[in-house]
Amino acid sequence: MKPTSIRLIASDLDGTLLRPDKSIATATRTALRQAADSGAVVVAATGRQTGSLPPELLDCAVSHLVGANGAIGIDLVTGEVLFEAALPAATVADIATFFAQAMPDARLSASRERGSYYLIEPGYLELVQAHELLPAGFLRPGSRADIVGHDTLKMSIRHPSLSGEQMREALIGSGLTGFHATTSGAPFLEIGGAGVTKASGLARLCERLGVPAAAVLAFGDAGNDAELLSWAGWGVAMGNATAELQAIADQITTSNIDNGVAKVVEEFLTERRIHGSQR
């Protein structure tokens, strides 16, 4: 049943809140600011981390980040780190060994300093596509030994010919455990700690804020949003979302090009005004 009261809005970024050029539509900014003015908490629930957040985000009244696919929570207003859930270095090393043996052309990277940058091994940068528009200095050269030597919030793995989903299936079939592998529609595999998802991260944030899952409105477009949309009181898939995500969503809105997030938020704000006037 569609909730009549929304206290928190959690939105994925790429493919959802962001348009293909990584900008945020004026209609989306306005709708989220109005939601915040009405008392809702606005959260970015994303695979991104602090070092790659779009500068326009705070202009949307986004006050909290659940980043690295749920591995870190940050109050963006105060800068306080609310929680972290790292992938242990031993597991990172096991994953690196698997790829070295099974897919030697794969190139690894790992988050550092709470997501302020990624350490990448030689050959990784050559696999990054221009349209990804990563900030200068976000990818920093390192070695595989550097990558496997520390815990990390998230690994990202690229391959010159294999998709993220193909790599995910191979890794899951390897028999290794202790991690959660997912994809976001981007040209790489994303790996975090066991049980760490956007849903687990948002649940931790909501517990701190005293917001029940039933009062959460969530948006997404890809595989790494599946747990989030299933957990939230009302899960919305974008018109450009994968068929698998649309199948589990409570609602399908228009695409990120057509202001899908703004349209649903505006619907809830209108319903709130109607219900308020009837009291």
106 and 129 inside one domain? yes
- State the CATH number of the domain containing residue 219: 3.40.50.1000
Q: How far apart are CA 45 and CA 50, in angstroms?
A: 12
262 and 236 inside one domain? yes
Task: Scan for tokens 């040209």, then name that residue.
Answer: 187
State the pTM of this model: 0.94
Contacts of residue 14, defined as CB under 8 A and 6 or more positions apart, other chains included, come to: 22, 46, 47, 48, 184, 185, 186, 221
Q: What is the mean pLDDT of residues 226-239?
A: 98
Q: Quick: pLDDT tens for 88-143.
A: 999 999 999 999 999 999 999 999 999 999 999 999 999 998 888 888 899 999 99
Q: For residue 197, what are the CA distances in angstroms to 22, 45, 92, 166?
A: 23, 10, 17, 20
Q: How confident is the model at residue 235 (pLDDT cuts 50, 70, 90)?
A: very high
175 and 248 inside one domain? no
Q: Residue 163 sits in which domain range?
A: 89-193
φ/ψ of 186, rounded to 5, equals: -80, 165
Give the total number of structural domains in the chain: 2
